Chain A
């Protein structure tokens, strides 16, 4: 049973426009959410995170929104750049005793020049 879901396998966006990547989760005990970016043949790199006590967090061009009632988070990239083309993973951290991070299936973003 997939606890963290990214229902869009791919997304194409024009350079300069907004990219919106979505993620849904099922476990209400998750307390911390993260987004990672992954280039081919490299390990995932951390982008931005948000605690469950907040509903928004910004870092430069990246903003993460959390809607706890809907169990939904999204990553907004504005403006999108060709270098943003990568696979994006959302992740959620559980708090049952020890920290356990569950990742989604990823969304491949292509930013068109």
Chain B
């Protein structure tokens, strides 16, 4: 099906482990984004990408790494997970107007 999909939907990991959240879109949108949602903070932008091989920091990039070797994929990696990175992560894509969001990945870091 066309759209934007995230995997895994749920993940439990331990402090210090590396975790990668995947995001795939089928619209060939240029822009892709990663947000995290936390109570009291709303949706905060982690990283975004304007095209393949072009990425930039958002509001809360520390502790995260992204790559975009293909237009359709935008993985988010936590190189050494911390408890403060427990959150719900949303990927989104856009041409130049509205964002289309995935269903989210709930990550728990123990």
Contacts and interface: CB of A to CB of B under 8 A. Distances in A.
A77 B41 CA distance: 24
Nearest to B45: A102
Interface of A: 6, 32, 34, 36, 41-46, 49, 89, 91, 98-106
Contact of B43 (A44, A98, A100): A44
Chain B interface helix/strand/loop/mixed: strand
B67 to A, nearest CB: 17
Given A43-B90, A99-B31, A99-B50, A106 B99 contact: no
Contacts of A43: 90, 92, 101-104
A41 B84 CA distance: 20
A46 B59 contact: no
A102 B59 contact: yes
B1 interface: no
A34 B98 contact: yes
Contacts of A91: 43, 99
Nearest to B102: A43
B44 interface: yes
